């Protein structure tokens, strides 16, 4: 190993430690004091509930663990968006579980909470996998009700999805394990089956205080909407549970009786580990986002046996297209090549940039994978499409549009891993969030932005200095450097993978060594949903 490998490894290990620190912090939810108070009521925490529900020693992945990071500071923060979402196995069946974290503002819904719940339902709908709701929430966070209540992608969309999912035959099971009030009461009752924990859970459209204020009736919450009321009088809930574990055991028994599903039929053989050591990724991946590295070396440490078959290997060299297997699943890989390459007798090309020939190759490969029913994996480290007169005259916009068209109309499941840069239209062409990847995650080395930091900072500097000069300010070189430093700091913070994960632009920031697990579990989920559409590029300019 050379000195650069060691330097890269040290740097990337520190990045992983930072990731682990952030995760350990959000795993605490509202903090130790809130957890202690929660448990004093005889309840398990949201994460404990999910852990108890899932099969022991089975794999799981968490969606949106870092949602809400550094957001809503004026409201005390919202770790993990106040809700925990995981994909795992219950009695051997793959499910997605949504659990309110009542240690965070009593499980109240912030705007990002709604977005995260909708993302969980989206995953269930796309993959037709059962969804379990563990409800313990005070409802909408009233100080921000205008940002969570009325719009199409707000709170009410959850119940609309409940109805749509039921009509699609997607199993939905709810356990009311704490507070469940107002509009939030519809979620569990619009599920296929609902249970309620005795004495610690309640469900009603309006609590006792509001009932007293509205109609003058005096009644306690337990009598108004407790387990006995809804299991013996109203018939609103289907099962009464003695405690949290009893409710979770009931869910396990119900899920265990669900019949088999129609499969999409994606090809899988016995899995094999990569021949090359996956831990080498930390030494291969450079510290600096502008440095070169060989993407093939990364791929070798992700795919089974470190084997892959390149499509058009010597053409369009800034994108690698290859057939491979990941954990036994057949996949088509579309990856940006960061190492500078020579393209025949042409001039040296810029690594990570999409040229016309690369876009053409990727378009053809995506079409081939759709024809063969092979899931697509995008490995992003892209700075965008090539600019300049030669590229424009060569039709780069047309070729880029064809690639975007192919990604948009792809009917096989897509999975996106943001390894490094994810800039501008390159993000779109390489299946960014707007292009419906089944799962999209970033490594700690990722950067997401409309353009690279240095270019953007220079553009913004020109705009800022021009504005100040119009106001009569004299811009000295020192003042210009001060402005530039401020712009760069702000822009750098906004391009961080954690900034993106907080807003659910990605499903999370992950350890590179977990990449195989995410892709494998993602394809397994997708295998629950047979393809019902034909791949069609529509009208494109050839």
What per-residue confidence (pLDDT) applies to 343?
Answer: 63
What per-residue confidence (pLDDT) applies to 121?
Answer: 98
What per-residue confidence (pLDDT) applies to 119?
Answer: 98
Q: Give me the architecture of the 30-256 domain, per CATH.
A: Alpha-Beta Complex (3.90)
Asked whether the beta carbons of 354 and 321 are under 8 A apart, the reply is: no
Q: Give me the architecture of the 264-443+510-534 domain, per CATH.
A: Alpha-Beta Complex (3.90)
Asked whether the beta carbons of 171 and 193 are under 8 A apart, the reply is: no
Helices (H), ranges, 317-437: 356-372, 389-393, 396-409, 424-429
Provide CATH 3.90.226.10 ranges for the chain: 30-256, 264-443+510-534
As a whole number, mean pLDDT of residues 336-363 equals 82
Q: Give me the phi and psi of 397, to 5 degrees please.
A: -65, -40
What per-residue confidence (pLDDT) applies to 195?
Answer: 96
What per-residue confidence (pLDDT) applies to 1?
Answer: 57
Q: Report residue 348's pLDDT band, with 50, 70 and 90 as the boundaries.
A: low
Asked whether the beta carbons of 62 and 92 are under 8 A apart, the reply is: no
**Tens digits of per-residue pLDDT, 57-78?**
999 999 999 999 999 999 999 9
Could you give the percent of the chain with pLDDT greater than 90? 72
pTM here is 0.93
* Strand positions, DSSP E, 443-501: 447-449
As a whole number, mean pLDDT of residues 108-129 equals 96
What per-residue confidence (pLDDT) applies to 486?
Answer: 78
pLDDT of residue 137 exceeding 70, the answer is yes
Longest Cα pair distance anywhere in the chain, in angstroms? 87
CA torsion, points 38, 51, 228, 137, in degrees to nearest 10?
50
Q: Tokens 């004495």 label which residue?
A: 199
What per-residue confidence (pLDDT) applies to 239?
Answer: 96
The contacts of residue 537 (CB under 8 Å, 6+ apart) are 367, 402, 405, 406, 409
352: left (phi over 0), alpha (psi -120 to 50) or beta: left
What per-residue confidence (pLDDT) applies to 155?
Answer: 85
What per-residue confidence (pLDDT) applies to 395?
Answer: 72
The tokens describing 486, both together, are: 């401020």
As a whole number, mean pLDDT of residues 406-424 equals 96
Q: Which residues pair with 132 in a beta bridge?
A: 97, 173
Cα separation of 498 and 479, whole Å? 30
The contacts of residue 421 (CB under 8 Å, 6+ apart) are 289, 352, 380, 381, 382, 383, 446, 447, 452
The overall average pLDDT reported for the chain is 92
Q: Residue 188's closest CA among 98, 122, 273, 85?
A: 98
Cα separation of 64 and 501, whole Å? 7
As a whole number, mean pLDDT of residues 20-30 equals 96
Cα separation of 299 and 102, whole Å? 41
Q: Report residue 31's pLDDT band, with 50, 70 and 90 as the boundaries.
A: very high
3-state secondary structure 16-45: HHHHHHHHHHHHCCCCHHHHHHHHCCCCCC
């Amino acid at each position: 190993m050379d000195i650069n490998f060691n330097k890269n490894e040290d740097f990337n290990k520190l990045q992983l430690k930072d990731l682990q620190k952030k995760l350990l912090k959000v795993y605490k939810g509202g903090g130790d004091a809130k957890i202690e108070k929660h448990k004093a009521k005889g309840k398990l925490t949201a994460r404990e509930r999910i852990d108890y529900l899932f099969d022991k020693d089975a794999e799981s992945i968490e969606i949106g663990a870092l949602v809400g990071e550094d957001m809503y500071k004026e409201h005390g923060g919202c770790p993990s968006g106040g809700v925990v979402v995981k994909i795992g196995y219950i009695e051997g069946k793959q499910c997605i579980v949504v659990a309110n974290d009542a240690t965070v503002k009593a499980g109240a819904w912030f705007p990002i909470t709604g977005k995260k719940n909708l993302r969980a339902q989206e995953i269930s709908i796309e993959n037709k996998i059962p969804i379990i709701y563990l409800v313990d929430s005070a409802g909408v966070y009233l100080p921000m009700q205008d940002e969570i209540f009325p719009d199409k992608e707000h709170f009410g969309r959850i119940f609309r999805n409940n109805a749509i999912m039921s009509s699609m035959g997607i199993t939905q099971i709810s356990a009311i394990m704490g507070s469940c009030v107002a509009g939030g009461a519809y979620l569990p009752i619009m599920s296929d089956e609902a249970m309620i924990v005795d004495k610690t859970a309640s469900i009603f459209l309006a609590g006792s205080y509001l009932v007293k204020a509205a109609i003058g009736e005096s009644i306690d919450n337990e009598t108004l909407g407790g387990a006995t009321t809804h299991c013996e009088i109203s018939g609103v809930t289907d099962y009464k549970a003695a405690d949290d574990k009893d409710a979770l055991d009931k869910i396990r028994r119900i899920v265990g009786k669900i019949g088999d599903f129609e499969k999409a039929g994606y090809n899988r053989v016995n899995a094999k580990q990569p021949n090359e050591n996956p831990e080498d990724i930390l030494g291969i991946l450079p510290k600096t986002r502008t440095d070169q590295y060989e993407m093939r070396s990364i791929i070798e440490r992700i795919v089974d046996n470190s084997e892959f078959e390149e499509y058009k290997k010597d053409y369009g060299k800034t994108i690698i297209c290859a057939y491979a297997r990941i954990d036994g699943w057949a996949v088509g890989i579309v990856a940006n090549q960061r190492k500078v390459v020579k393209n025949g007798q042409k001039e040296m090309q810029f690594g990570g940039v999409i040229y016309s020939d690369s876009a053409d190759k990727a378009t053809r490969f995506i079409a081939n994978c759709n024809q063969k029913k092979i899931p697509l994996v995008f490995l992003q480290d892209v700075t965008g499409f090539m600019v300049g007169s030669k590229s424009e005259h060569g039709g780069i916009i047309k070729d880029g549009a064809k690639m975007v068209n192919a990604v948009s109309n792809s009917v096989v499941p897509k999975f996106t891993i943001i390894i490094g840069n994810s800039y501008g239209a390159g993000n779109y062409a390489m299946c960014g969030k707007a292009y419906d990847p089944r799962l999209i995650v970033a490594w700690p080395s990722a950067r997401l932005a409309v353009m690279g930091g240095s270019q953007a900072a220079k553009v913004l500097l020109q705009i800022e200095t021009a504005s100040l000069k119009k106001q009569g300010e004299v811009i000295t070189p020192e003042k210009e450097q001060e402005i530039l430093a401020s712009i760069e700091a702000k822009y750098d913070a906004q391009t961080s993978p954690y900034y993106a994960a907080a807003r659910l632009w990605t499903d999370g920031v992950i350890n590179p060594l977990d990449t195989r697990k995410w892709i494998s579990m993602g394809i397994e989920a997708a295998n629950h949903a047979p393809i019902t559409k034909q791949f069609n590029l529509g009208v494109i300019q050839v």
